[in-house]
Amino acid sequence: MQDSAPAAATLDYGLSQRALIAVSSRTDTVAELDRRLSTLAELDDADRDLAR
C-alpha cells in the first residue's frame, strides 16, 4: 500500500491556492472577514477575562 500523504498534501495545497486566488480578488470580502475575525477575537478575550 502506497503512502497517499504527499498526494493529499499536494491536493490540499492546490485547493488552498485556488481559494486564496479567488478570495484575493474580492478585497471588500477579505476586509469584512478580517473585521469579523477581529471582533470574534476581542469577544473571546473578553469571555476569558470574565471567566477569571
pLDDT in tens, 17-35: 778 777 777 778 778 888 8
User: Distance from CA of residue 44 to its chain's centroid?
Assistant: 17
Distances (CA, A) of 10 to 5, 7, 16: 9, 5, 10
| Residue at 47 is within a domain | yes
Give the pLDDT band (50/70/90) at residue 4.
low
Domain that holds residue 32: 27-52
Total count of domains within the chain: 1
C-alpha cell at 28: 471588500
Please identify which residue in the block is written with the cell numbers 472577514. 33
Q: Is it the case that residue 1 has pLDDT exceeding 60? A: no
Please state the pTM of the whole predicted model.
0.42
Among 42, 7, 15, 1, CA closest to 23:
15
For the chain, percent of residues with pLDDT exceeding 90: 0
Please identify which residue in the block is written with the cell numbers 476581542. 42
| Residue at 19 is within a domain | no
